[in-house]
Amino acid sequence: MKDLIITEKTNINTINIDTSTSYEIAKMINDEDMKVANEVSKQLENIAKAIDIISNNFIKGGRLLYFGAGTSGRLGVLDASECPPTFNTPDEMVQGIIAGGDKALRFAIEGAEDSIELALVDFNNLNVSSSDTVVAISASGNANYVVEILKLAKEKQSKTIAVTCNKNAEIIKYSDISICLETGPEVITGSTRMKAGTAQKMVLNMLTTASMVKIGKVYKNFMIDVKPTNIKLKERAQRIVSQIADVSIDEAKNILEENSYNVKEAILQLKYSISFDEAVEILKNNNGILRKAFDYCNKN
């Protein structure tokens, strides 16, 4: 008999979950969840290598493309969809593709994870190039869909990253960097939306957040490229400008309303008494990195 993937094995700690009280069930789940962060910590070196690949490709104009099926695919779509409002990235810069298309975000699509044909269609629709980073997300790491995606990416000479919970995953063979999160048997046997999904979500958060930091989307720990699409985000932008430029909230609000809520430009305008156009030019000449823009202004 073929060896079971570890996420498909029975968890001896929850074998009596069906006869437990609600509190006991919650505690079992919580006890298992506590193991997740420790497993992620074991992969920090590989996560860091992946971050360097992604950020270097961003600088070259490349994209970050997540591919996955089921829970893993949904996590990729979620992480990608949060980049434009958080970091004001173009929609195409970080993309999440789920086997079976958008319908699969809400409904299980029979056979999607096993389909090489779907992988070919999804991959070819994106015109993947050598400057893109292709990330396959899969708890088992053996689904035909993600395996085929990485094979195709290799043919395009794209950098490839595998995020899996199985040390024997097939996708590892086709990855430049593999991030293997051995979260073990699930609370409910095979339910990888639980620990495996949590671990994958943590890693994807790291990949995008750290990559955005590396390309200048963050100053100190401020979200300086926030896209203020609602009242909460506009108020956040005002606080950021006020704190970094050392001005009142009213001054920050006024300049942001004048320049259509361009946060980095507003900071430079207030801090160095320059025009919006001058701020745009300075940022352009310093790759959009606020610290470098400060250095330039202080020297000139």
Q: Number of helices (H) and strands (E), helices first, in the chain?
A: 13, 5
Annotation says 82 is catalytic: yes
CA distance 16 to 39: 25
Q: Which of 32, 113, 148, 170 is catalytic?
A: 113
Tokens of 277: 């156009």
b or e along 240-256 (b: 16 or more beta carbons within 10 Å of the residue's beta carbon)? Answer: bbbebbebeeebbbebb
Give 291's contacts (C-beta < 8 A, 6+ positions apart): 216, 219
> Is the separation of the CB atoms in 162 and 139 below 8 Å?
no
Q: Which of 8, 82, 182, 251 is catalytic?
A: 82
CA distance 161 to 229: 32
**Chain centroid offset of residue 18 CA:** 35
Q: Kindly tell me the burial class for residue 143, based on how many C-beta atoms sit within 10 Å of its own C-beta (0-12, 13-18, 19 or more).
A: buried
Annotation says 265 is catalytic: no
> Is the separation of the CB atoms in 165 and 181 below 8 Å?
yes
Please report the DSSP string for 201-237 in residue order.
HHHHHHHHHHHHHHTTS-BTTB-TT----SHHHHHHH
Catalytic residues: 82, 113
